[in-house]
Amino acid sequence: MNPLQSKRDWMYTLDISFAFNHIRVKQLLQQYLAFQIQGTNYIQVGMPFGVKTDYTTACYNLTKLKAKVRL
């Protein structure tokens, strides 16, 4: 056992590779992510790009998550 670990310690991992689909796009901007196929309109309401390209949003949401996990 690592000297920094004890039986009462615990850890977790957080995989955020698909988290960007759960971050909402502001309603005002959703119109720019819309498209139409065979008369049906589709609007992207989750971020269609990864957290790698939007550090600010990713950092903001991870900070909120981190605060909840520490409770």
Residue 13 inside a domain? The answer is no
How far is residue 57 from each of residues 17, 40, 54, measured CA to CA in Å?
14, 30, 6
For the entire predicted model, the pTM comes to 0.38
pLDDT at 52: 57
Q: How many domains does the chain have?
A: 1
Strands 40-43 and 34-37: antiparallel
- Residue ranges in the chain modelled with pLDDT below 50: 1
Is 42 within the bounds of a domain?
Answer: yes
pLDDT (0 to 100) of residue 41: 87
What was the pLDDT predicted at 17?
Answer: 64
Whether 12 is in a domain gets the answer no
Domain for residue 36, yes or no?
yes
User: What is the span of the domain harbouring residue 27?
Assistant: 19-69
